[in-house]
A and B are shown apart, each in its own frame.
Chain A
Amino acid sequence: MSTDTDTEPTSTAADESLFTDVDLGWEHRKNRIFLAVIFAASMFGVVMLALLLLDVLTDLYVGVTEYNISLLEFFTRDGSRREELSGFRGAIVASIMLMIVTAILSFFVGVGSAIYLEEYAPDTRITRLIEANLANLAGVPSIVYGLLALAAFVNGIGMGPILLAGAIALALLVMPIIIVSTQEALRAVPDGVRNGSYATGATEWQTIRRVVLPAAMPGIMTGTILALARAIGETAPLIMVGAIFVNRMPFGPFDRFSAMPTQIYNWANEPSMHFIHLAAVGIVVLLTFMFVMNGIAIYLRNEYETEI
């Protein structure tokens, strides 16, 4: 009764407004404009990426043709204060060495931590603290890792600005990435596999070492390579440990060094246009390294994804 009298007049009013006030043409236009706007916004990033790559490649081309940068000499000479004598060999060697030392330092500890957190850790306060801390470490600016290495290793224990100090900073920086990706790889191993191993009387450690780890290895390798691809482009931590204004090629982890990104920074900061174009050539080399590493990681993922 009462509902009838209540709703009757209002609903007709609403109905009328629904059919008279809504301008369907405007609604359609609004939709089309919105789609155009958000499509343009999506393309902005793509256009910027294209511009960036195009700019670097044109600068490389101009560098080779107008500034007579010989690619052969670029790859066979070390850095130099004199622009026409400056090359990239020392930086490439330093970066490769950094990658190797960083991988050794971070891989075992990172994978070990992930195994503990996924396979052993009881759900206690300490475990949760470690997990929360991991998320936080991933957000620490990379330059802070450089400060840590500078104060603790370069000056603290008197290591000096050597390659090993830079590798430690990079290893600490990529450790959270390796841990998180290893955790995901371990989680992807079905529990049935573990239980099958336990049923034969194997201990936790035997199960992990002989059954779980081999199954998770492709995922772990993928994550590690992606982490190293990120480390190879990191500049700030290396500058903080003092990897700058060094032109010699390093011969071991205890030599002073200048890696690819710091060498590029050095060149880009010079006022001379010749150095700017040297930087462009260096960037092409650096990006090639990164894309190849990413490619390997994607290949590994696609190749072994269905193994388990």
Chain B
Amino acid sequence: MSTETTPGPDITGGAARGDLEANRRARRLLFGCATITVVTTLAIFFVLIDNAVSYFFGARATEILLGASLERTVTFTEFFTGTRWAPDHATPGHGVLPVVFGTIAITVGAAFVAIPIGTATAIYLSEYASDGVRRKLKPTLEILAGIPTIVYGYFAIAFINPVVLSPIAETLFGINIGRYSMLSGMLVVGIMTIPMVSSISEDAMSAVPDDLRNGAYALGATRFDVSTRIVLPASISGVFASYILAVSRAIGETMAVSLAAGFNANITANPFDEIMTMTAYMVQMARGTTAVGTVEYQSLFAVGLLLFVMTLTMNLLNDWFKRRFQEEYR
């Protein structure tokens, strides 16, 4: 009899109601936190488009919506087909092609370094290396990925260009290369993207079921055959995803290329020439005194928007490859 207590609202009910209320408040607050990432993406889009519009139409998108007059300051034809990029000169050139060329050249060059070496490293790590070697080699390579890009830029300007490339260019081709060269930019971006390719490709290769390997070995295949004809094809979508990620990183890479490849926007086939990437242009503009509202300031956002769209495309591609890869072995 005495054990029976009526659960009065003052004892448990009130406290429980307060707890539930706290729970609801926490939930709302945490949802607010989670939306910040979405707000960031929207803000990036808004800021880039809003300011890029002023580069092309003379007034910002927000001002145009409020009724500012339109004037074509830079035409799309000139922007996308012109071959002189110098928005800050007295006689301005608004063709974005030279800096896009610079970005693509660096990216392709870096891919030629990072993709073969990264893939070979991944095969070694996943198919050949003993456990002990893998446990040492993988973190060592990941240190490469963690080193700040400014240090790679320094490496290019203080070592690769003057010590490695300059003597080669002089003795073999008789060219005197300056402080900057396209080739050192390609090499240094390639080196820093190796761990990205090797690490993600190795994960994809390790995910290939052992049954496939054992089946091949049972048929008398050698390790070389298994690596190149079984494991590599079976993990190809994951491996491709790593290539795309590396390419995306190379496109957006800033400090290494602006220190290694220089600030001279030209389209050239000579790897020892100085070139300028989209990101290097942005750094150069930010280094000067660019007043808000000037063409130089606006051009920053036009180039930034182009860069953002390029990397976004790469990221979506990467996502698509990864999803294909995940479907294969489940």
In the complex, whether B76 has a CB less than 8 A from a CB of chain A is no
Pair B148/A235 contact, Cβ less than 8 Å: yes
- Which residues on the A side are within 8 Å of B254 (C-beta)? 141-143, 235-236
Pair A142/B252 contact, Cβ less than 8 Å: yes
Enumerate A224-271 residues with CB–CB distance to B below 8 Å: 229-230, 232-236, 239-240, 242, 244-245, 261, 264-265, 268-269, 271
Q: How far is the CA of A116 from the CA of B228 in the complex (A)?
A: 44
In the complex, whether B79 has a CB less than 8 A from a CB of chain A is no
Which residue from A150, A155, A205, A229 sits with its C-beta under 8 Å from B22? Answer: A205
Q: How far is the CA of A248 from the CA of B102 in the complex (A)?
A: 35
A155 to chain B minimum Cβ distance, whole angstroms, is 5
Pair B224/A205 contact, Cβ less than 8 Å: no
Mostly, the A contact residues are helix
- Which residues on the B side are within 8 Å of A130 (C-beta)? 34-35, 37-38
Pair A141/B307 contact, Cβ less than 8 Å: yes
Pair A113/B33 contact, Cβ less than 8 Å: yes
Pair A203/B124 contact, Cβ less than 8 Å: no
In the complex, whether B212 has a CB less than 8 A from a CB of chain A is no
Enumerate A142-158 residues with CB–CB distance to B below 8 Å: 142-148, 150-152, 155-156
- Which residues on the B side are within 8 Å of A27 (C-beta)? 222, 224
Do A235 and B157 form a contact, CB below 8 Å, given A137-B41, A147-B301? no
Chain A: CB-nearest residue to B292: A155
Chain A: CB-nearest residue to B248: A139
What string of 1s and 0s marks CB contacts (under 8 Å) between B137-156 and chain A? Answer: 10011011011111111110
What is the count of residue pairs linking A and B with beta-carbon distances less than 8 angstroms? 264
- Which residues on the A side are within 8 Å of B146 (C-beta)? 229-230, 290, 294
Q: Which among A2-10, A74-82, A188-196, A275-283 touches the partner chain?
A: A275-283
In the complex, whether B123 has a CB less than 8 A from a CB of chain A is yes
Which residue from B27, B35, B198, B253 sits with its C-beta under 8 Å from A120? Answer: B27
In the complex, whether A287 has a CB less than 8 A from a CB of chain B is yes
Pair B30/A179 contact, Cβ less than 8 Å: no
In the complex, whether B308 has a CB less than 8 A from a CB of chain A is yes
In the complex, whether A34 has a CB less than 8 A from a CB of chain B is yes
Q: How far is the CA of A80 from the CA of B158 in the complex (A)?
A: 21
Enumerate A7-41 residues with CB–CB distance to B below 8 Å: 27-28, 30-31, 34-35, 37-39, 41
Q: How far is the CA of A140 from the CA of B312 in the complex (A)?
A: 7
Pair A116/B27 contact, Cβ less than 8 Å: yes
Q: Which among A50-58, A85-93, A214-222 touches the partner chain?
A: A50-58
- Which residues on the A side are within 8 Å of B248 (C-beta)? 139
Chain B: CB-nearest residue to A127: B34
Pair B38/A133 contact, Cβ less than 8 Å: yes
Which residue from A49, A115, A283 sits with its C-beta under 8 Å from B30? Answer: A115
Instruction: List 30 contacting pairs A-B, 8 Å CB cutoff, sorted by A.
Output: A30-B222, A34-B228, A38-B121, A38-B128, A41-B121, A42-B124, A45-B121, A45-B144, A48-B191, A55-B158, A59-B158, A108-B33, A120-B30, A121-B34, A133-B38, A133-B41, A134-B37, A139-B311, A140-B252, A141-B254, A144-B308, A147-B282, A147-B304, A175-B36, A176-B37, A235-B148, A239-B287, A268-B150, A276-B158, A286-B148
New A-B pairs, 6, CB < 8 Å, besides A176-B37, A286-B148:
A38-B124, A45-B191, A112-B29, A206-B22, A242-B286, A244-B287
* Residues in A lying within 8 Å of B, measured CB to CB: 27-28, 30-31, 34-35, 37-39, 41-42, 44-46, 48-49, 51-52, 55-56, 59, 108-110, 112-113, 115-117, 120-121, 129-130, 132-137, 139-148, 150-152, 155-156, 172, 175-176, 179, 201-206, 208-209, 229-230, 232-236, 239-240, 242, 244-245, 261, 264-265, 268-269, 271, 276, 279-280, 283, 286-287, 290, 294
